[in-house]
Structures are given as C-alpha cells and as structure tokens.
Chains A and B, each alone.
Chain A
C-alpha cells in the first residue's frame, strides 16, 4: 500500500539587513538567489533538487512579458516542471505554500522553492503610488488618493465610525510590534515607542499617521517544501501544513464590499480552520500582515480571534506585546522589522523559526501551532496557512 504524499516545509531563509538595506547590496536577482540558497541549505537540499518554482514580485524585465518564474529559473540554473506566479499582492506567498502543497501531494513536483526579493529601499524605487490611470484605476487616481495608504485610511475611518475604534487602540499595535522588534537584531526600527509617540507622529492620511504605516525596506526570503518522506530521508526538520485558504474581493478600494470588514480574510481563514480541524484556542502564535495598524485590527476580527468591532479592545493594554496574552508578529512585523513591498514571505519565515524554537531572544515558549495570514493589495486579498511542528 502506498502512503499518501504529505507536503511539508523544510527550509526557510532570508538575507541579512542593516538599516533596512540588504547587507553588501545586490540586484533583485542576486538577493533572491542568496535567499534561495539560504533556505535550501537550511533544508539540506540543493538547487539541483528544485523542480517547482513559485515567484511573485514587483520586479521584472520591463515591457511585454514580465515572466518572473521563467526569468528567475534561468538565473538560478534550474528547469522547473511546476511554476506558479500567482500574484495577489503581499499575501501571494501564503497562497504559494498552499499551491505548492497541492502540487507536491499530487506528485506534480517534489521540491518546491518559493522566493521573494526586493531592493526598493536601496534603489529608492517604491512606486506603488504610480499606478497608471488605466482600466479600473481611472476611477481612483484622478482624485489624488495616496496609494495604498488612502484606502487603508478610509477603512480605518469606517471602522471607527461603526465600532468606536480609537486612534489610541491602533497605536497599541504599533507600540507592541516595536517591542517585538527590539528583540530582533535584524529589525530596522528597534527603539521602543509609546502610544503618544504614535499619536504625535506625522499625519499621512487621516486617521493614519507615520507610525501607523509600515516601513519601506529591502528584503529577500525563501521557503522550501517537499514531501515528509523526503524530509525524513535528508534529516530535515519538517513543519506540517494543517490548513490553508485564500480569497480576494477587489482591487479598486471603491469596490471593497465592506470597508469595516476584511471579507477576504474571513473566507480564507474559515477554509484554513475547517481543513485543519482545530479551534482558535489551539493557535499559539499569529503572524499577520501589518501594512498598517488598521490591517492588523481588521485581520484579528476577520480571523475570528475576536468579534467584528472588538479588535480595539482585543489589542488594548499591550496584549499582543512580548509577555502579553496573544503573541503577534513576533519579528517586529512590517511596521518595525522590514517591509520590502510584498511582506508575506517574512511572516512564513518567522513562523517556521518560532515553530522550530530558533527565534532567539524573541522566542515564544511552547509554540506548536502558528497561524500565518497575508493581506495583499488594498485589503484586497487574503491567504491563510496553519502550520504545526508535530
């Protein structure tokens, strides 16, 4: 009798950062190659073993045919028989884990490499605000909406209107996340901050202020997946995938179904919990996308850790800080660790490290199950994975 193939995560890697820039510099291809090598070394596998390549990014050869997996596969010297360039924004990598698992379990590939890299900080090239006013964006850009912060600001305003959420409650998230970052030597911003610091930081788009917003940094990371059987054969420590889900609702902020609810995250996480067959109580840590403080608050509600409208109370009193009841974004997040354009990769890398007990000063004790949730676009897409070390 043949045992069913189980896909597991066996490698996680990233590149060193200093002041938000890749140490030693490098092109967007170089930094992805370094991250890929780090993750493969971690997995005790080699580049020649890779037959599945999953890539999403904001880079590429300009002009017709931005083909990131084809470009990167060539650069890495591999010939993938499975490729996935699903790009649903910063949550793409959580979706890639799910897609790679399906491909591995079906026997479509044996070793999947998921890679992301950006050198936007070094190149001073962050251009999300520069979307041309074509197709659906002709109804957004003409109004001078700062992208993407303007959409998040309108969601925050609506959430405050419906539920009485306060700016101080949003600030709680920034303060707690910075406290985690102070424990992470790789974090870009490590000095502790107070709620007052957040409240008095530079206004950007009301009600969001500078310290409600993620950083703009470089970064590169990679995840390697294979079968549990292959992991055992190579002596690699396997992280199991218990459940996953994804959804997206809109790209134009004007088309978001409900500005006070993260519909994509509700759908994605419901699927993931059903597949995992676990309750919320079984989750030891949560790594969720923090493009802005409001993203976190709405995500916690959508994931079901509190009811709609209760996110403000849930994060108050530094409950998500080190030593708090609800360990959240333990590497310092996009708010204080790094945010290289599409941050979802780094949620996965941190979850793997926490599940293996390799997170150093910021290690949370007794972590057996982690929930990772990415958000992409302007609260557009959501992808959840539930990971376990047993």
Chain B
C-alpha cells in the first residue's frame, strides 16, 4: 500500500460515497430498488429501471462473469505505462448490473467473454480501495 498513488482517483461525492466506503471495508455494495426489485450500478438517486426513489444499499456476492473486455496495448496515459498489457473488463454481476473493472491475471491472453470472476480488493492507498476481479480459472 502506498500513499503516493499517482493513477486517477475517483472524485467521491455524496451519491457515490457508500460504494467507496464499502470497498475500503472489502465489501461490494450497490443500490437495490425496493420498488422493482432490481439492482443497479453505478449508484443513482432514482432507479434507472423504474425511476423509483425507494432505494437501499445492498452488499452483493462479488461474483459474476465477463460481458466484454479489452487488453490495453497502449496505456491510458503515462501513469498506466508500466501496466501494459492490462485488462479492462465489463463484468455482469450475478445480481444483474454491469461494472467496469480490471482483471488481475498473470496471462492477459487467456481472458475470454463468459469467464467466471470474483472480486479482489486492491488497497491502492490508505483511503482508496479498488474492487478488481480475478478469473476463477486462474
């Protein structure tokens, strides 16, 4: 863990703080709608499915599968240069919503759509934890 983390940090706001606070406690928490029963991500004030405001934060399993992904062969700026090649993936959580993240794997060439994944918390700074994912087949 380093307190000199140089990659982009989320500018956390009132609407997103519960998600980032939970991540720091190694929990994956996303909004769940008591009106239509669906979860969503990223967190919003109104359910994007039924537009109700009857929402609650709910811990989810941290399991899902890869909906799509890309292997970055060129970095998104100099701070990511040492990571190339790295995987950015869109995970379909078992609870429904999709979430952008990184796949941490020793072999980026074996990542495939449909792969089962599990959350792994990366404490990148004392005040910031990023929920990344690993392949269950790794």
Contacts and interface: CB of A to CB of B under 8 A. Distances in A.
A133 B75 contact: no
Contacts of B9: 133, 142
B68 A157 contact: yes
A134 interface: yes
A143 B102 contact: yes
B98 interface: yes
Contacts of B90: 154, 253-254, 259
A129 interface: yes
A142 B114 CA distance: 23
B69 interface: yes
A325 interface: no
Interface stretch (B31-39, B51-59, B80-88): B80-88
A204 interface: yes
Interface in A137-188: 138-147, 150, 153-155, 157-158, 161
A146 B72 contact: yes
B68 A158 contact: yes
Contacts of B16: 138-139
B46 interface: no
A161 B113 contact: yes
A206 B71 contact: yes
B76 A144 contact: yes
Contact of B102 (A144, A155, A157, A254): A144
Contacts of B13: 134-135, 138
Given A143-B102, A144-B76, A144-B88, A155 B10 contact: no
Given A157-B113, A254-B90, A254-B98, A144 B70 contact: no
Contacts of A253: 90, 100
Contacts, number: 111
A269 B79 CA distance: 41
Contacts of A136: 42
A204 B7 contact: no
B72 A157 contact: no
A252 interface: yes
Interface size of A as a range: 35 or more
Interface in A186-227: 202-208
A132 interface: yes
Interface residues of B, number: 35
A139 B11 contact: no
B11 A150 contact: no
B8 interface: yes
Interface in A99-155: 129-130, 132-136, 138-147, 150, 153-155
A147 B72 CA distance: 11
Given A254-B42, A254-B90, A259-B90, A205 B113 contact: no
A154 B130 contact: no
Given A139-B42, A144-B7, A206 B73 contact: yes
Nearest to A209: B73
B112 to A, nearest CB: 9
Contacts of A155: 68
B7 A154 contact: no
A158 to B, nearest CB: 4
With most chain B CB atoms within 10 A of its CB, the pick from A130, A136, A153 is A153
Contacts of A153: 70
B113 to A, nearest CB: 4
B80 to A, nearest CB: 4
Given A129-B76, A133-B11, A145 B100 contact: yes
With most chain B CB atoms within 10 A of its CB, the pick from A143, A155, A202, A206 is A143
Contacts of A150: 70, 72, 76, 88
Contacts of B121: none
Contact of A204 (B73, B79, B88, B102): B73
B100 A205 contact: no
A207 B85 CA distance: 13
B68 A154 contact: yes
A235 B130 CA distance: 63
Contact of A259 (B8, B11, B68, B88): B68
Contact of B11 (A138, A205, A252): A138
Interface in A245-301: 252-255, 259
Contacts of A161: 68, 113-114
B70 A129 contact: no
B30 to A, nearest CB: 11
17 contacts: A129-B76, A139-B16, A141-B8, A142-B7, A143-B100, A144-B72, A144-B77, A144-B80, A145-B70, A146-B75, A153-B70, A154-B68, A161-B113, A203-B74, A254-B41, A254-B99, A259-B67
Q: Which 4 A-B pairs have the closest CB atoms?
A: A138-B10, A153-B70, A203-B73, A158-B68
